[in-house]
Amino acid sequence: MEPLTHNQQELLLRMVEADRQSIARRGEPDRFAWHRRGGMGPTVFMHAGLPGGQIEGVVVDDLEELIRKGLLEQTGQRAARLTDDGRRRAPELQASSAAAGTPDWNTVMEPLLRRVYELWAEGGLHPLGVQIEAIAAGWDGEPSVLQRLLDLLSAEGWLEQRSAGMISAGGPGPAYAPAGRALERLAGWPGAGMEAREVLVAALEAAEQESTDPEEKSKLRQLAASVRSISEQTAAGVLSHLATGGG
């Protein structure tokens, strides 16, 4: 079986704990269910055993992968229950995580991801992303540790490295920007699995909402309308051009 990503491991562990809480209270497990808030917002994941009964920002692709691996059994269009294999896998994951020193998602990885997103948003959603020097401001650990965590987030599909570099006193280091699944989790963007044209329109609409200048808002609105009429191939080319530093 292919290894689970860090995010899939964390999700499975949270599900196993919620399942345990449900069995302790009711004597039997509850099913898990999910939906997208408002049809286009972040995915809301619901279960009686979760803190507050739900969590937001779960990536549906991760749920589908857990189902594919036999750790969940789908019981409806947007519902599933843990399998026995899923319950057995949790202790192995916990032991493996402790041995490898895997960074904790809630206290390390997600706060770092949120910092990159906030810096990127403050910078006007710059296509070249956020340089690691800006991310490192206020970072208490070694630069190499920060680089490793950013690389982990990139490998998991949460970040995209928009430019390469080295952490040094003489020049800029690599730059990162949130990927679609991060925008979905942190900002409610319908980013994961979107086509290029939809990504461009979403970015323009977000910029319009952030702008306080009426003329600029009007121009952004018109530009978004124009983008909707271009081909998907053209939109993909524009995104690729921006991502590689094109003007």
Contact 119, 139 (CB under 8 A): no
Instruction: Report domain extents, the chain.
Output: 6-100, 103-188, 194-247
Phi, then psi, of 30 in degrees rounded to 5: -95, 160
Reported as a single tens digit per residue, the pLDDT across 145-195 is 787 788 788 878 889 888 765 444 455 678 899 887 788 777 665 544 455
**Is 80 exceeded by the pLDDT of residue 202?**
no
Kindly report each contact of residues 78-82 with a partner whose C-beta sits within 8 Å and lies 24 or more positions away, as own/partner: 78/33, 78/34, 78/35, 79/31, 79/32, 79/33, 79/34, 80/31, 80/32, 81/29, 81/31, 81/32, 82/15, 82/16, 82/19, 82/29, 82/32
Class of domain 103-188: mainly alpha
Does 103-188 match 6-100 at the fold level?
Answer: yes
* pLDDT given at position 102: 63
Reported as a single tens digit per residue, the pLDDT across 40-57 is 556 788 888 887 788 777
**Is 90 exceeded by the pLDDT of residue 207?**
no
Reported as a single tens digit per residue, the pLDDT across 32-91 is 998 876 555 567 888 888 877 887 778 788 889 999 999 999 998 889 999 999 988 877
Reported as a single tens digit per residue, the pLDDT across 93-106 is 766 655 556 677 88
Contact 199, 180 (CB under 8 A): yes
CATH number belonging to the domain at 6-100, selected among 1.20.1740, 1.10.10, 3.40.47, 1.10.287:
1.10.10
Residue with tokens 């006193």: 169
Contact 71, 12 (CB under 8 A): yes
Give me the percent of the chain exceeding a pLDDT of 90.
11
Give every CB contact of residue 84 below 8 A, 6+ residues apart in sequence.
none
Q: How far apart are CA 90 and CA 10, in angstroms?
A: 10
* pLDDT given at position 243: 45
Q: How far apart are CA 173 and CA 205, in angstroms?
A: 30
Reported as a single tens digit per residue, the pLDDT across 3-24 is 777 778 878 888 888 888 888 8
Cα dihedral across residues 143, 149, 152, 153: positive or negative: negative
Contact 163, 175 (CB under 8 A): yes
* pLDDT given at position 116: 93
User: Which residue would you say has higher pLDDT here, 227 or 171?
Assistant: 227
**Is 60 exceeded by the pLDDT of residue 245?**
no
